[in-house]
Amino acid sequence: MIAERIHSILDQLSEGVRLVAVSKYHPSEAIREAYTIGQRIFGESHAQELQRKHEELADLSDIEWHFIGHLQTNKVKYIAPYVNLIHSGDSPHLLAEINKQALKVGRIIPCLLQLHVAQEETKFGFTPDEAMRYLESGEWQSLKGVQLAGVMAMASNVDDEERIRNEFHQVHHFFDTVKQQFFADNAAFKEISMGMSDDWHIAIDESATLIRLGTCIFGERQY
């Protein structure tokens, strides 16, 4: 089942779009099943759960762990030794802590700037204006343990396709603007992470490079 679903998604992806299989709340055995057919990137949103799975799946040495949920600063140290990409860089304070923990373990951790474009109030992230001011401040340039690698966002959880498209469009536009202004010579700044099970086709239309799919691969989560 997992294998068929992944194959069917991959068949619809063009070159340059990568699938993050969001395995939160699903057992390590489900990850193994996806790994067996070649899936390598997995997304988790709780530090302790990721830590446990990282240990349980230690034999899968080329697995890529992406952290996609809100990350509390006091949890950064647990995942800093091995996490491959943190999508949810949602505040200057968190990025500074990731920098500190990365340097402690001698790493440079790729991070995305999480943008808040949805209308829900509970979502974390920089508004595009805040993110622009953060980049203009130049503060990020002194974070030698953090590699800014692009942007991430979630759209509003609504059925209104035009609204979702508009939010993804804002993200794409923001990416293009800051790419040109701050990262023109920086090939590592290249990712637009957006699109979940219900809206990934729209995200791809708006140039997503990483889509984060959970339910449509692994089924409903058991909380």
Ligand X SMILES: *Cc1c(COP(=O)(O)O)cnc(C)c1O
Q: Which of the residues 57 through 76 are near ligand X (CB under 6 A)?
A: 68-69
- DSSP secondary structure letters along the chain: -HHHHHHHHHHTPPTT-EEEEE-TTS-HHHHHHHHHTT--EEEE--HHHHHHHHHHTTT-TT-EEEE-S---GGGHHHHTTT--EEEEE--HHHHHHHHHHHHHTT--EEEEEEE--SS-TT--SB-HHHHHHHHHHTGGGG-TTEEEEEEEE---SSS-HHHHHHHHHHHHHHHHHHHHHH-TT-TT--EEE---TTTHHHHHHTT-SEEEESHHHH-S---
Output 45 or 99, the one with its CB closest to ligand X: 45
User: How many residues in the shown chain lie near ligand X by CB under 6 A?
Assistant: 13
Output 45 or 101, the one with its CB closest to ligand X: 45
Which residue(s) pair with 55 in the sheet? none
Mark the segment that binds ligand X (CB under 6 A) among 57-65, 102-110, 201-209, 213-221. Answer: 213-221
Output 76 or 112, the one with its CB closest to ligand X: 112
214 binds ligand X (CB under 6 A): yes
215 binds ligand X (CB under 6 A): yes
Output 48 or 215, the one with its CB closest to ligand X: 215
**Single residue of 17, 22, 178, 203 touching ligand X by CB under 6 A:** 22
Output 133 or 201, the one with its CB closest to ligand X: 201
**CA-closest candidate to residue 80, choices 112, 109, 113, 114:** 109
Mark the segment that binds ligand X (CB under 6 A) among 27-35, 56-64, 120-128, 209-217. Answer: 209-217
In the bound complex, which residue of the shown chain has the CB atom lying closest to ligand X? 214
Mark the segment that binds ligand X (CB under 6 A) among 1-9, 30-38, 177-185, 207-215. Answer: 207-215
Residues that bind ligand X (CB under 6 A): 22, 24, 45, 68-69, 154, 196-197, 212-216
